[in-house]
Structure 1
Amino acid sequence: MNRVIATLLGIIFAMTANAEEEKGIIGRVYEDGLPVIYKFVNELPQDSVRSNLSWLTVISWKYDGESNNGMPLNDENQSMIVLEDAIEDHIEKDQVLRHVYSRTGNNLKELVYYIHDQDKFLEAFNKALSGHPRYPIEINFYQDAEWEDFKRLLNDFETAANK
């Protein structure tokens, strides 16, 4: 993916995870001339956490953002927030997964997690979303025991911040 880091929008935001405060980043890059917003915690989890979560899991939602500079329209964005909240409230708190980043822009929303077991994740995912409307999403799993995808993202933003 060819991306140019343009701006770090918000340096620190607070997220509560197991009653501990974590530092995070909200940053903007450009892909094909369109803005893409990333949100992520700005550090790798401890080795003990990473070693147990070897599957990179990407939930992708393609949308038509042509009339909104590549961003989702409000109604669709609200549905995306409902999906993300359901995952966070019902799956992440059960420690089935670890959120690493989300990205929105260039006609694509991605929620990216690391998980231990695909079947357990899908079972928890379907349970958490029972009663929800069907979302136009695709879920892909990639073996990434070294967390290379997330390390690349951290490096990209660290490099931009130091310029």
Structure 2
Amino acid sequence: MSSASFSEQSSDDPALDRIGPALSRLRRRTPASSKDLSRNLVLNVIADAPGETTVGGLAAEMGVAQPVASRTVAACIAEGLLRRTASQSDGRRTVLELTEHGETERSRFAAEQRRAFEEITATWSSEEQIQFACLLDRYGADATAWSRRQAASRD
């Protein structure tokens, strides 16, 4: 099936209208507390960012105001999860890095999320679990690229 005919056929499928609410439910069901959710998001954004991450860049990536990102970063620094360092490309800028403890916490969150995924999908075949995981990972990567293109077109 060509991509044009697939696009025409799938655009009327009511399953596509359920994507937004489903993704919202996924976000609400991850780590146990809102504190964990925020820390996990910050740690993943910084770890996955290409190059150096500033508080402003973190705020843009998270879709929050800079003061919100700054408070979250301050809490993560106080907990030993992040550190501020001088940029290697511009010593006047301060960038964020994960500490060893931050890497450990990021791994712990990932393990908790995997256990939750395995429990939630216990009735799925292993092929379905792997296919969903691969597609969700691909969706996340494509969503990040799309978001960066959107931000670049606004600049």
Q: TM-score range by the shorter chain?
A: under 0.3
The structure number with the bigger radius of gyration is: 2
Q: TM-score, normalised by structure 2?
A: 0.28
Structure that is richer in helix per residue = 2
Larger RCO: 1 or 2 (CA < 8 Å, sep 6+): 1
